[in-house]
Amino acid sequence: MTKRRHNQLPKPAGRRERRRAETREKLYQTAMRLFAERGFFDTSTEAITEAADVGQGTFFNYFPTKDHVLIALSEKQIGKISNALHEAEAGDRSIRDVLHRLMHAIAEEPTRSAPLTRSLLAAFVGSDEAREFTGETMARGRNSLARIIKFGQERKEIRHDRKAMDLAMTFQRNVLGTLLLWSIRPNGNVSSWLERTFEDFWDVATSKGDSPQ
Amino acid sequence: MTKRRHNQLPKPAGRRERRRAETREKLYQTAMRLFAERGFFDTSTEAITEAADVGQGTFFNYFPTKDHVLIALSEKQIGKISNALHEAEAGDRSIRDVLHRLMHAIAEEPTRSAPLTRSLLAAFVGSDEAREFTGETMARGRNSLARIIKFGQERKEIRHDRKAMDLAMTFQRNVLGTLLLWSIRPNGNVSSWLERTFEDFWDVATSKGDSPQ
């Protein structure tokens, strides 16, 4: 309680906000590390504050529940898709390039280690709250992906005979399938897995749908 | 102990084997139902024997551990891939048809309900033992899939410029990605999800890898 009141003391706004952002990031990074080591369900908020070396109640000043750390991760991922959408709008790079970088960017955070990937996947399917906002996040991500893909269709980089939204689903399906397979048996670095995954996605995005003979 | 000894009493072999197979199947089906209702980790072997209405120790006459129910599921899945391989060898149907049916057959068991799919995915990433044999099962499945795909390449149904093993990975990545996405937000029946998933897989399998313009 003392800590809570201390946090609310008037301070220079800039410095105070910077401190808050730093503490939040520290709690987030510590939580992700512990999720990787012990799994999401076996990590308590007390363990997070202890490992982050902050007061026990501090956690809840930043995250209402442990699930909100996963929400923070989802927000980071959505931010990456929004950035890619801005790049697509700007038109400086090919849509292939925008989507290729995006696939690697999206996988970066959850694949810091295979145990983290597994822990996150387990949390996303194992908790009703996490699943609800994951579904929401996936849907939001899919909308932005579809907008990027539409730019690709307009610029004749991507086929027109499939809905942009279906191809956005193709993108997500490929990334998730790879994260799952890699997390089960992480032989080789995830980057080369993602290269093949992108190649597959791009084959679908540009296929004429005819057979090879 | 009494039950164990009773099980080992001499009986007409055919009948005895039939009874054993029935009890094993009953325990398997009950376990799958409870995994769907409560999740894999929150289902005890006692709960399974109680719901199956058999003696408490009986479980271990059929499955050394709870993980072995998942191994039984994996064996069923491998059996489906082996059947498809035999069909491919027989050559009565197109490889496209063989793989199309296989994708639906593979998804059938784990998608009996979305909670079951989630429970199985959580078990496969959440337990080290389950993960180990899942990795093994996936590798075995991929070998057989690659052999089916090779038939497709020989018969000029499938492109030659990608390794059969890479396309087998494409197949698994697509199925797993779809199971994960569907289990998080199961709107619509899984069958139509699988249709689009197969369409994507087949685009990759037959793509000439050139752009649409």
Q: Tell me the pLDDT band of B209, cut-offs 50, 70 and 90.
A: low
Q: What is the torsional sign of CA A22, A24, A27, A28?
A: negative
Find the closest chain B residue to A211 by CA distance: B206
Q: Which two tokens stand for residue B51?
A: 């719901």
Q: What is the pLDDT of residue B105?
A: 98
Mean pLDDT of the region B86-95: 97
Q: What is the pLDDT of residue A38?
A: 87
Distance from CA of A204 to the nearest CA of B (A): 6
* Distance, first Cα to last Cα, chain B: 73
A172 contacts B176? CB cut-off 8 A = no
- A122, A126, A209: residue with CB nearest B203: A209
User: What span, in angstroms and rounded, lies between the C-alpha atoms of A22 and A16?
Assistant: 10
Q: For B1, which DSSP code?
A: -
Distance from CA of A191 to the nearest CA of B (A): 15
User: What span, in angstroms and rounded, lies between the C-alpha atoms of A99 and A171?
Assistant: 9
Q: What is the pLDDT of residue A2?
A: 43
Is A187 an interface residue toward B (CB < 8 Å)?
A: no
Is A194 an interface residue toward B (CB < 8 Å)?
A: no
- pLDDT tens-digit readout, A35-87: 988 888 889 999 999 999 999 889 999 999 999 999 999 999 999 999 999 99
A172 contacts B174? CB cut-off 8 A = no
Asked if residues B29 and B113 have their Cβ atoms less than 8 Å apart, the reply is no
Angstrom distances, CA of residue A55 to CA of A40, A52, A59: 21, 9, 8
Mean pLDDT score of chain B = 91
Mean pLDDT of the region A140-168: 97
Q: Which residues of A touch B170 (CB under 8 A)?
A: 200
Nearest to B184 by CA among B113, B110, B121, B118: B118
Whether the per-residue pLDDT at B208 is higher than 70: the answer is: yes
Q: Scan for tokens 């249709």, then name that residue.
A: B195
Is B155 an interface residue toward A (CB < 8 Å)?
A: no
User: What span, in angstroms and rounded, lies between the C-alpha atoms of B103 and B101?
Assistant: 6
Report the greatest alpha carbon distance in chain A.
Answer: 75
Is A74 an interface residue toward B (CB < 8 Å)?
A: no
- pLDDT tens-digit readout, B97-117: 999 999 999 999 999 999 999
Distance from CA of A97 to the nearest CA of B (A): 14
- A156, A180, A185: residue with CB nearest B180: A180
Whether the per-residue pLDDT at B197 is higher than 50: the answer is: yes
Asked if residues A101 and A202 have their Cβ atoms less than 8 Å apart, the reply is no
**Which of A73-87, B35-49, B73-87 is predicted least confidently?**
B35-49
Whether the per-residue pLDDT at B11 is higher than 60: the answer is: no
Q: Which residues of B touch A172 (CB under 8 A)?
A: 177, 181
- pLDDT tens-digit readout, B137-160: 999 999 999 999 999 999 999 999
For chain A, give the percent of residues with pLDDT over 70: 92
Backbone angles phi, psi at A207, to 5 degrees: -65, 145
| Interface ipTM | 0.88
- A125, A174, A183: residue with CB nearest B173: A174
Is B126 an interface residue toward A (CB < 8 Å)?
A: yes
Is B207 an interface residue toward A (CB < 8 Å)?
A: yes
- B125, B184, B200: residue with CB nearest A204: B200
Find the closest chain B residue to A183 by CA distance: B125
Whether the per-residue pLDDT at B34 is higher than 70: the answer is: yes
Is B176 an interface residue toward A (CB < 8 Å)?
A: yes
Q: Which two tokens stand for residue B143?
A: 């070998």
Q: What is the pLDDT of residue A149?
A: 98
- A170, A178, A184: residue with CB nearest B131: A184
Q: Which residues of B touch A176 (CB under 8 A)?
A: 176-177, 180-181
Whether the per-residue pLDDT at A1 is higher than 50: the answer is: no
Backbone angles phi, psi at B155, to 5 degrees: -90, 10
Mean pLDDT of the region A180-196: 94
- A156, A166, A172: residue with CB nearest B181: A172
Domains and CATH numbers, chain B: 2-62 (1.10.10.60), 67-206 (1.10.357.10)
Whether the per-residue pLDDT at B30 is higher than 60: the answer is: yes
